[in-house]
Structures are given as C-alpha cells and as structure tokens.
C-alpha cells in the first residue's frame, strides 16, 4: 500500500490540468522516496508508511522544483488555471519536513544507551 502519483498530486496541490509535474517526474520522486525510506529501515507498506512515502516524495519533488527557480526574482507563476507562489511553497516544504521528521521518529526503533558501570 504505497503512495501513488495521484496521492502526491493531491499532497502538493497539483490537481488540475495542465499539471506542473508530469507523471514520470512524480514516479521518479516516489521511487527515490521508496529507496530512501527502505534504506532508513522504514516500511512504506503500512498506513503511516504510506503517509511517510507520500511526504518524502513530495519533498523530493518540490525541492528539485524550487532548486531550479530559487535564484530568480519571480515570486509567483501562473500556468493555465494553476498559480503557485514560491514563498508559500517553500513554507509548505518546511511544514512537510517537520511532519515527516515526527512520523519517522515515531516509526523508528527507540535507541537504547548502555553505559559501563564505572
């Protein structure tokens, strides 16, 4: 039960045509997120894992998008009926990162510290 392209579209608000992100770009972000989360020991098959997968893919996708436009003076873009304000998107990205951190912390095994007796 991993996240789908449509799940990521809803998460990032890219729900009306023409889409800002094409399906192959979203699928690539989902694949990268799967590999990253599995490497961290987090299963993407549970309900909470699906949420984590969707958040991580959204972060990868939006981060690469913002990286291409970050140094430009443009504050917003309009394409068809869709408009995006880059400042709002950056703020949303930070919110997603905080939520992802909280979920990952809950899903990881607790650390156990063992000290010598002296």
Strand 82-85 to 76-79 pairing: antiparallel
Phi then psi for residue 108, to 5 deg, are -80, 155
User: What pTM does this model have?
Assistant: 0.67
pLDDT of res. 110: 60
b/e for 9-24, b at 16 or more Cβ within 10 A? bebbebeeeebbbeee
pLDDT in tens, the chain (118 residues): 788 888 888 888 888 888 888 889 899 999 998 998 888 888 888 888 888 888 889 888 888 776 665 554 445 556 666 665 555 666 777 787 888 877 777 776 665 656 665 5
The residue extents of the domains of the chain are 5-107
């Amino acid at each position: 039960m991993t996240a789908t392209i449509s799940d990521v579209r809803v998460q990032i608000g890219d729900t009306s045509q023409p889409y800002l992100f094409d399906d192959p770009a979203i699928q690539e972000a989902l694949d990268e997120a799967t590999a990253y989360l599995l490497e961290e020991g987090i299963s993407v098959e549970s309900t909470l894992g699906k949420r984590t997968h969707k958040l991580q893919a959204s972060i990868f996708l939006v981060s690469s998008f913002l990286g291409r436009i970050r140094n430009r003076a443009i504050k917003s873009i309009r394409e068809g009926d869709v408009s995006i304000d880059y400042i709002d998107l950056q703020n949303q990205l930070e919110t997603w990162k905080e939520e992802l951190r909280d979920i990952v912390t809950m899903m990881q095994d607790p650390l156990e510290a063992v000290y010598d007796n002296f």
